[in-house]
Amino acid sequence: MLSHKLEKRMANWQKNNLMRQRHIIGNRHYGDNIIHTAGKAHLNFASNDYLGLIQHPAINAAMIAGIKQYGIGSGSSAMVTGYFNEHDSIEREFAQWLGFDKTILFSSGYCANLGVMTALLNRDDTVISDKLCHASLLDGIQLSRAKHYRYQHNDVMHLQKIAAKVKPDMIVSESIFSMQGDIAPIADLMSIAERYQAGLVIDDAHGVGILGCDGRGASEHQSKLLCMVMPLGKAFNAMGAIVAGNGKIIESILQFSRSYRYSTALPPALCCALRATLKIIQEETWRLQALNDNIAFFNTEALVRKLPLVSTDKTPIRAIIIGDSQKTVWLQEQLIKQGICVAAIRAPTVQQNSTRLRISLNSLHTQAEIVYLLDKIFEYFL
């Protein structure tokens, strides 16, 4: 019976230290990195709020004003009556900021990747993706029924070898890989895509707001991208996702994406908050500079302690390989006892033998906080 199969699966999951647990988080305050859980305060090194925008007064004010004007929800799909002036405005403002013809706002990054892959690919197409692409991209490709090949992570030579054999219609990669913290060789990917007249799609979830000119992410390559997917739950500290491309591509996604058509549109009040966030990211440039300073400081201090970083690329995602699920969970628990919150990443998110602590830096972390974190990891890691 199904229930017995599930019980067996759960028992195996628990035996291999793969059980996940939700932690109830209390109030959050602007300008610090403290979260409260189980009645205790912890330094937060697990959030994707890279630019420290949690509880920003201007964003909160925009959201409240939007709720007063529009209410809580949108009421329906964007294709029915759920598309308001605020949706149109945020799409136009993102297009202008990024330098693309048009953009379209999805309800989540997962829906965006499902929608893009299924709208632009079908069973007659061939797609090649990086081995470590996000699950949403892989699920979207599978749903599209396109022929799918995967190249070794960031291995341009392997991609070239596969492309020469299969002549792809599309190449897919992330800009910053969420579990590695390393950066894709986008210029090389563009070169191969051009050689085989393939469209290049970049998931810029962890890059937008962080990489490129003034945080515009992969959009600095906009003239050579088929489209760019930007989930807004990281540096923008919101929800939803912007997909940017030329007019024909965005219109195709609008017409053929089931995950767009059949999802309730995001609340217009959230779009008000997103517009405020976009303005802050453009004006408060000190946030990106402070983040980059923290990344450089972390890398230097981690190397001094000879901690095995997955990557020293200049990104806010820092991962330290532990290699064993039980030890990874134990390390996380010890850090929690010391008032530090980090993520313990295990299978199936990463391979069984590459479990890791995943640390997320932001612009508000102090050097003293970073040193405290690294000292405690070094203490328990030994």
Q: In what order do the strands lie in the sheet with 340-341?
A: 34-37, 40-44, 340-341
Q: Which of the following is catalytic: 42, 56, 148, 234?
A: 234
Residue 47's nearest CA partner among 274, 206, 202 is 206
Q: Which of the following is catalytic: 203, 237, 263, 363?
A: 203
Distance (Å, whole) CA 268 – CA 294: 35
Q: Which of the following is catalytic: 42, 87, 148, 206?
A: 206
Rounded to 5°, angle at Cα 73 from 69 and 79: 105
* 303's tokens: 């190397």
Q: How many CA atoms lie within 13 A of 213 on its CB side?
A: 7
Q: Which of the following is catalytic: 86, 174, 182, 369?
A: 174
Residue 46's nearest CA partner among 358, 365, 348, 378 is 358
Distance (Å, whole) CA 378 – CA 382: 6
178 assigned to active site = yes
333 assigned to active site = no
Q: How many CA atoms lie within 13 A of 382 on its CB side?
A: 7
- Asked whether the CA dihedral 139, 145, 146, 149 is positive or negative, the reply is positive
Q: Which of the following is catalytic: 47, 178, 219, 362?
A: 178
Distance (Å, whole) CA 324 – CA 70: 50
134 assigned to active site = yes
87 assigned to active site = no
365 assigned to active site = no
369 assigned to active site = no
48 assigned to active site = yes
Q: Which of the following is catalytic: 17, 48, 60, 252?
A: 48
- Catalytic residue set: 48, 134, 174, 178, 203, 206, 234
